[in-house]
Amino acid sequence: MTSKPASNSVKNRGSWKQNPDAVKADILRVARAEFADHGLSGARIQEIAEKTKTSKRMIFYYFKDKENLYREVLEQAYREVRQGEKALALDSLDPVEALTQLVAFTFTHHRANEDFIRLVMIENIHRGVHLSASETIRAGNSPAVEQLSAILERGTAQKLFKPDIAAQQLHWKISALCFFNVSNEPTFSRVFGNDLMTEAGQAALRQDVVDTIVGSVLA
């Protein structure tokens, strides 16, 4: 026997370090972009793996299967967006100004988080079944609605706002306008021209959305 390894038929298997959390986070990061880009059935595990520092093997090791990976991506995205909404401090402003800020922020925030918007679009295409399967995503922990409620309460107390404005319904209207702006940009601009999607158009739109929403609650 020589001092060399007995067998040279053993293929070279590179060495590696263990860092499960980083690997999982890396996979989630890449998967999120891919799912947002191509949808659940359109995304390719292969493609996700290649953009990762790890392998296809590990995706299934940590996330079981494609649907589960998608669900975890969705959950993470919801959590992050909620986190972002919490950052707003509106308590010190008078109700009208607070509402103005909230709407303007939502408009800008949605624009800046296109991936999240697209994930929500995709989930709606799937009729929300993966959201249902998720334990962590539930009502009540939506900072946006809570802040809105607080503003409405103060505004109504000061008789600046109409009485009996429903926070949930108002939130729905704000969401609709801000969400649609991002979600339907491609088809809308192709059918009607992209005037509203230029920088100037978006500024005008944001102002219009703010005015429309604020106008709808003023006494």
Partner DNA sequence: CACACAATGAACCGCATGGTTCATTGCGAC
Partner DNA sequence: GTCGCAATGAACCATGCGGTTCATTGTGTG
Chosen residue from 2, 3, 6, 16 binding DNA by CB under 7 A: 16
* Residue 207 parent element (H or E): helix 199-217
Q: For residues 214 and 103, is the Cβ–Cβ distance under 8 A? A: yes
Helix, strand, coil tally for the chain in percent (to 5): 70, 0, 30
* Residue 191 parent element (H or E): helix 185-192
- Report what 180 binds from its own copies, DNA, none; CB cut-off 5-8 Å by kind: its own copies
- Report what 176 binds from DNA, its own copies, none; CB cut-off 5-8 Å by kind: its own copies
- Report what 15 binds from DNA, its own copies, none; CB cut-off 5-8 Å by kind: DNA
Give the SS3 label for residue 99: helix
| Nearest distance, CB of residue 32 and DNA, angstroms | 15
Radius of gyration of the chain (CA): 23
| Nearest distance, CB of residue 136 and its own copies, angstroms | 11
Closest alpha carbon to 100 in 21, 160, 26, 19: 160
Chosen residue from 17, 127, 159, 190 binding DNA by CB under 7 A: 17
| 52-81 positions binding DNA, by CB under 7 A | 54-58, 60-61, 65-67
| Nearest distance, CB of residue 54 and DNA, angstroms | 5
Measuring CA to CA, how many Å separate 121 from each of 18, 60, 114, 158, 211?
36, 25, 10, 38, 26
| Nearest distance, CB of residue 39 and its own copies, angstroms | 6
Give the SS3 label for residue 161: strand
Q: Interface with its own copies by CB under 8 A: which residues? A: 38-42, 118, 120-128, 131-132, 137-139, 142, 145, 168-169, 171-173, 175-177, 179-181, 183-193, 195-196, 204-205, 208-209, 211-213, 215-216
The Cα 82–Cα 192 span in angstroms is: 33
Give the SS3 label for residue 218: strand
| Nearest distance, CB of residue 123 and DNA, angstroms | 17
| Nearest distance, CB of residue 46 and its own copies, angstroms | 14
Dihedral pair phi/psi, residue 215, rounded to 5° = -60, -30
The answer to whether residue 190 forms part of the interface with DNA (CB under 7 A) is: no
Q: Of the listed pieces 5-13, 76-84, 92-100, 136-144, which binds DNA according to CB under 7 A?
A: 5-13
- For binding to DNA (CB under 7 A), which residues are involved? 10-11, 13-20, 23, 43-46, 54-58, 60-61, 65-67
